[in-house]
């Protein structure tokens, strides 16, 4: 996205995708992420990091938010205000706050490590911040990345 000469002028981009809780939907998510980061002109390695973080968070929702055999929607809303890039991942599944999940101990051997937790660790590492809210019966996970020089 071109930088404006007038710093008071904010560019705004909003993209939204609604998926079913089906792992086959990840292909659509990947295309959505490539398109959105392409519109912003995000450098390739950062675009890959953003895609990885969002895909990891969405796959967790696909796998765990809804009881087995239950269909549900997952909304991914990307907004960019000229400086801050936000991905809001919204689902009506069981309440789950991944930010409260204890950080995975990556110093333990694979045999001694508890299952799970690496995905949220990865998301924490790739994004500047993550935030969870439960509103109107919905989980809202917000992933934030500050884009400098865009």
Q: Given this model, what pLDDT does residue 3 score?
A: 39
Q: Given this model, what pLDDT does residue 110 score?
A: 43
Residues ≥6 apart with Cβ < 8 Å to 94: 64, 65, 66, 67
Q: Given this model, what pLDDT does residue 121 score?
A: 79
Provide block-wise average pLDDT over 10 residues at a time, the chain (150 residues): 40 91 96 95 95 94 92 97 96 91 47 50 91 97 86
**DSSP assignment of 101-120:** SPPP-TTS-TTTSPSS-HHH
Q: Where are the domains of the chain?
A: 22-146
Q: Given this model, what pLDDT does residue 98 score?
A: 86
Q: Given this model, what pLDDT does residue 105 score?
A: 44
Domain 22-146 CATH assignment equals 3.30.565.10: yes
**What does the block give as tokens for 136?**
């109107």
């Amino acid at each position: 996205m071109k930088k404006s000469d007038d710093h008071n002028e904010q560019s705004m981009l909003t993209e939204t995708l609604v998926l079913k809780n089906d792992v086959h939907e990840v292909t659509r998510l990947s295309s959505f992420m490539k398109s959105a980061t392409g519109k912003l002109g995000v450098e390739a390695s950062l675009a890959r990091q953003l895609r990885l973080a969002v895909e990891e968070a969405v796959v967790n929702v696909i796998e765990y938010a809804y009881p087995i055999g239950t269909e549900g929607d997952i909304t991914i809303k990307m907004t960019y205000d000229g400086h801050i890039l936000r991905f809001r991942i919204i689902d009506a599944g069981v309440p789950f706050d991944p930010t409260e999940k204890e950080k995975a101990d990556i110093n333990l051997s694979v045999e001694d490590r508890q299952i799970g937790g690496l995905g949220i660790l990865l998301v924490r590492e790739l994004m500047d911040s993550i935030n969870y809210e439960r509103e109107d019966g919905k989980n809202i996970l917000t992933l934030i990345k500050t884009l400098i020089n865009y």
